[in-house]
Amino acid sequence: MKNPIQLGLLLLTITALTVLGYNVYLREITPPVLTYTEFLAELRENNIEKIHLQGGVITGEDRAGRPFGTFAPDVSALIPLLQEKKVEISAEAQTESGAIDIFKSLLPLLLILGGWLIFSKKQSGGAFAHGSGRSTRFKPVESDLVTFKDVAGIAEVTEELQEVVEFLKKPEKYSRLGGRIPKGVLLQGAPGTGKTLLAKAIAGEASVAFFSMGGSDFVEIFAGVGASRVRELFVEAKKSAPCIIFIDEIDAIGGRRSGSSSSGSSDEREQTLNALLVEMDGFSSGETVIMIAATNRPDILDPALLRPGRFDRQITISLPDIKGRIKILEVHARKILASAEIDLEKIARSIPGFSGAEIANLVNEAALMAARRSKEAVEMDDFEEAKDKIIMGLARKSIVVSEKDRRITAYHEAGHAIVGLLLEETDPLHKITIIPRGRAMGLTQQLPLDERYTYSREYLQNRITTLLGGRTAETLVFNRLTTGASNDIIAATEIATRLICEWGMSEALGPIAYRQSVDGFLGSSTLVKPHSEMIARQIDVEIKQVIDTCSDEARAILKKHNKFLHKFAEALLINETMDAEEVDIVYRSYLKERELEQILTETRGNDDTCTQRNTNGI
């Protein structure tokens, strides 16, 4: 607490509420009191069911089951009347209530004294008295030791952190040349990329004590507790040096200060942040204590926390590329009984954008799939099913879909697949299904062969064309529109908008950003640059032109390959799910039929020419 006055007010409030609650409780459990005259009147009317005698005090129930209480001045004279009315009687000896009355009168005083002792103990006991067990010290145990061998897919990050391990193991190696041990390392990246695992691996490699806390562990309702807890944590860490202090989700206390007066939780958070800044500045040269923090929101951290001398190193942990995903799969595949036929590279290529935690979840789901099917080992089809479940959602095989809706869905997905297959600069098809998954009635999945970091205008336009292929196929075959294309239209419009407003790919508007997406590890936010109504109308015209051009291209492709559309849709209705190899078989079959038709057409044309020549000769 800030001062004794606040403590006294808090104790008085608690005492008043307790006494009030106790009085309410007594009022609830105490039956209504009748006068003796009223009691006798009810008794003569045969309204009394049973009574309990304790000296002259009478409690009981009437015929309706309602409790009551009264006092009889002469119980012996009352007994005959009770027997006459056949009232059930129970009795017990009268007890001395002096001790109970004394306890009830002293209860408020005892509550005040107890509260005072508790709060005094909490204040004198330091920060960790407010929450025992907040600081967890991990001693290096060989069986549970986490090292860099358990971290895969981020080789450049582990190399950077290897120097921190050397600082902890041999600080004199750097201090003899005048080097200063880094005081803090900030690990920033998307959720699931391995920030916490890296911190534990550093402690395991260096074999030092590891103090771990979450940012929310410092936040309390009582002002000053968070700052006190920070000081206590650093005192304990300095006693155990060399060691590592790890604070996960540091943005809970390290957010940017507003610069204006604040109160309540904001004031408490800023006090905690100030204490953290002071403690990080207070490391002496002889204390080998390194602070590691992790966050998904580095953009909201206070600049004073990020300056050199506090967090000297800020390391961004990105999502793993294809090589990283293979290595992460190898690490987790060692923990399960996997078949020798599993192709980890193929699995890694089919899961672009997966974080380390998502890959671990994929391996675990595959193991659960295999166990559910009573297999001896985890096989490739288990990984495929687990991947489809994670990416596309759980298959809703129990849903009843009419044959008409199945056919519409089949042509819709066939339209996506054919347009994506026949356009040049697009991602290869991976899997097409008309089985409802998640909230979608069907899905067409395309996966890149290589990692993409930049996108050309042709690729983006072809992506829009592919998205509009499903809706176009519906209109060509059924001459009607359905709501199944709603998500495709939203995605296509977003790509077209960013193409015009963010990436400057409009010839009419030029390389000007009218909208800016601020990408973060937890998503992106959009900033709109102020512009005139004329520019807004021109932007709308450009976006519509892009959408119309792509829609016309999709229509042209599907009209030209109309037979392929029908053939593909029929194959989907039979198989329900098709992978890239099955799509290729259908496509090759279509090409052979088309080639045969061309040969027959040419032959028929030659025959007609010969017939005409013979006729002319005759």
77-90 pLDDT per residue, tens: 778 877 777 788 87
At 567, phi and psi to the nearest 5? -65, -45
b/e code 146-174 from CB counts within 10 Å (16+ = b): bbbeebbbbeebbeebeebbebbeebeee
Q: Is 413 tagged catalytic?
A: yes
The band of 489, judged by pLDDT with boundaries at 50, 70 and 90, is very high
Look at residue 362 and tell me whether its pLDDT is greater than 80.
yes
62-119 pLDDT per residue, tens: 777 778 878 777 777 778 877 777 788 877 766 555 555 556 666 666 666 666 666 5
Nearest to 45 by CA among 89, 91, 90, 87: 87
Look at residue 438 and tell me whether its pLDDT is greater than 60.
yes
426 Cβ contact list (under 8 Å, min separation 6):
420, 446, 459, 462, 463, 466
10-30 pLDDT per residue, tens: 767 777 777 677 666 666 666
The band of 223, judged by pLDDT with boundaries at 50, 70 and 90, is low
Q: Which range among 30-44, 411-425, 563-577 shows the weakest confidence by mean pLDDT? A: 30-44
Look at residue 188 and tell me whether its pLDDT is greater than 50.
yes
Report d(CA 84, CA 302) in Å as an integer.
86
Q: Above pLDDT 90, what percent of the chain?
A: 21
Q: Which range among 121-125, 131-135, 195-199 shows the weakest confidence by mean pLDDT? A: 131-135
According to DSSP, the residues that pair with 212 across neighbouring strands are: 136, 246
Look at residue 236 and tell me whether its pLDDT is greater than 80.
yes
Look at residue 581 and tell me whether its pLDDT is greater than 70.
yes
The pLDDT score that the predictor gives to residue 299 is: 82
The pLDDT score that the predictor gives to residue 265 is: 52
Q: Which range among 54-58, 183-187, 355-359, 545-549 shows the weakest confidence by mean pLDDT? A: 54-58
Query: Please, are residues 273 and 229 in contact by the beta-carbon 8 Å criterion?
Result: no
Catalytic pick from 413, 474, 542, 553?
413
Look at residue 533 and tell me whether its pLDDT is greater than 50.
yes
Phi-psi region of 577 (alpha: psi -120 to 50; beta: other; left: phi over 0): beta
Give mean pLDDT, residues 192-205.
84
491-520 pLDDT per residue, tens: 999 999 999 998 989 888 888 888 877 666
Domains of the chain with CATH codes: 4-99 (3.30.720.210), 136-317 (3.40.50.300), 322-392 (1.10.8.60), 403-584 (1.20.58.760)
Counting beta carbons within 10 angstroms of the beta carbon of residue 375, is it exposed (0 to 12), middle (13 to 18) or buried (19 or more)?
Answer: middle
- The beta strand positions in 93-242, using DSSP E, are 136-138, 184-189, 209-214
